[in-house]
Amino acid sequence: MLTWDEWRPIYERIAEELGLDPRRDHEAAETLNELIMDKPSGMDGAERKIRGGTVAIFGAGLSLRRDVEEFLDSGINACVVAADGASKAFLEHGVIPDIVVTDLDGGDEALVRCSREGSIMVVHGHGDNLDALRRVVPRLEGPVIGTTQVKPFGRLHNFGGFTDGDRAAYFSGGLGARMIVLGGMGLEERVGEYSKRIEDEVRLERKLRKLEIAWRLLSLFADRFKGQLYNASGSGREIPGFRRASFRELAKTLR
Would you tell me the crossing angle of helices 201-224 and 4-18 to the nearest 10 degrees?
A: 160
Mean pLDDT over 49-64 rounds to 95
Mean pLDDT over 45-71 rounds to 96
Give residue 127's domain range. 4-253
Q: What is the pLDDT of residue 116?
A: 97
In this prediction, residue 202 has a pLDDT band, given cuts at 50, 70 and 90, of low
Q: Compute the distance between CA of residue 144 and CA of residue 209 in angstroms, rounded to an integer.
A: 29
DSSP state, 53? S
Mean pLDDT over 34-56 rounds to 97
Mean pLDDT over 39-61 rounds to 96
Residues 106-149: tens digit of each pLDDT: 899 999 999 999 999 999 999 999 999 999 999 999 999 999 99
Q: What is the 3-state secondary structure (H, E, C) of 81-105?
A: EEEHHHHHHHHHCCCCCCEEEECCC
Assign residue 212 a region (left: φ > 0; alpha: ψ between -120 and 50; beta: otherwise): alpha
Q: What is the pLDDT of residue 186?
A: 84
Q: What is the pLDDT of residue 177?
A: 98
Three-state DSSP class for residue 128: coil
Is 121 within 8 Å of 18 (Cβ atoms)? Answer: no
pTM of the model: 0.94
Q: Compute the distance between CA of residue 57 and CA of residue 150 in angstroms, rounded to an integer.
A: 24
Number of domains in the chain: 1
